[in-house]
Amino acid sequence: MTDWFTDQALASITAHLLPGLWPLLVALVVCAAVTPLAIRLSPRLGLIAQPGGRHAHANPTPMLGGLAMYLGFLAALVLFLPRYSFTPGVAIVSGLAMALLAIDDRRPMRPVVKLAVQVGLAALAAVVFAIQIKFFSLPGGHVIQLELLMAPVSVFWLVSMMNTVNFLDGVDGLAAGVIAIVAVILMLAAGALDQPDVVQMSGALAGCCVGFLLFNFYPARIFMGDSGAHFLGVALGMISILGVAKVAVAFALAAPVLALALPIADTGWAILRRRRQGSSVARPDLMHLHHRLQSLGLNPRQTCYVFYAASALLGSLGLALFGHGRILAVVLVATAVLTSTVAADLLLQTRWRVPAPWLRRLLNDSGSQ
């Protein structure tokens, strides 16, 4: 599928990716329909984010977005994936992540308790439902079986995904938009590997993110909270594991890892930074990359655009390994347009001018056009 415009390529795209379109649409519609109800229900449950402190929003904002996203995702699973053995595990673990972390949104847990909940959810997926990374491969066709390390490696991956998405959720629309992009990239990668079940699950995850983004993009009417961030993290982690479990290729995780490279690196640096400062790894701060971008003058929308462009660009590099070479050129052009737009908006806001006397003389020349 190196050429997207041949009849063969179009037929392949239709056969491999069309199954994911319907779960995407169902999840989107259900999430968009349920989110207004979640906005009304949040005050009754005491799930309201108050302004002040680390929070940049000006008004009290509902925090029950995780429930709306999960219901959209669950509807797509029930309608399109009931026959697969892994569907109950994905539904139960992601639902528990949403429900248990809603407690944290209502009354913050101690860091050690929160970590125990994350490890428990990951262990439930890996040990009870056997959603595990069982091997990895090296170039040249060498496959290394993890054997006794299957469960620990899988638990580490799932806990890492939950924390990565949780740390990413610091700007209106940022986490939902980035995960939607990563889910679409997983759809493309799974389609190239002829994995219709992973295509459908990825479509469902992308759809619930887009449906929620209609209400969460700046200025947000509702937040996803820790419940939504952990639901997205564990669901994304399980879907990527299920995709890896079906193929013995060295780059099976390349697409999702590259697409999440920016938030993964930011999470890793946050952990190192806090350890060097002698503070708790779980202690929140305003030093994440999205905070730094805003301190440079970018508004929340522009910050999201930067992350969206980076995720799409890096993810497309991973997709090139699966034969989607032409998409890289498309993403490069879109990234250039988006970057130039953000840069122009920033220059206008700061009223900064590029000194170019030669250009001024040229424009003042009566013979110039």
Q: Going residue by residue through the chain (369 aa), what tens digit of pLDDT does each one get?
A: 444 445 565 565 666 678 899 999 999 999 999 999 999 999 999 999 888 655 666 688 999 999 999 999 999 999 999 999 999 999 999 999 999 999 999 998 998 999 999 999 999 999 999 999 887 766 666 677 888 889 999 999 999 999 999 988 888 999 999 999 999 988 888 887 788 999 999 999 999 999 999 999 989 999 999 999 999 999 999 999 988 765 554 455 666 777 788 888 877 777 787 777 776 666 666 667 776 777 777 888 888 888 898 888 888 777 776 555 555 544 555 555 555 555 555 555 555 555 555 445 544 544 444
Phi, psi dihedral angles at 40 (to 5 degrees) = -75, -30
Distance CA 256, CA 239 (A): 10
Q: What pTM was computed for the model?
A: 0.83
Q: Which two tokens stand for residue 249?
A: 């290729």
Cα–Cα separations (whole angstroms), residue 296 to 5, 308, 344: 41, 18, 14
**240/263 Cα distance (integer angstroms):** 17
Q: How far is residue 86's CA from residue 128's CA, in Å, rounded to a whole number?
A: 11
Residue with tokens 């079906």: 246
Give the C-alpha separation, 306 to 336, whole Å.
11
Judge contact between 178 and 306, C-beta under 8 A.
no
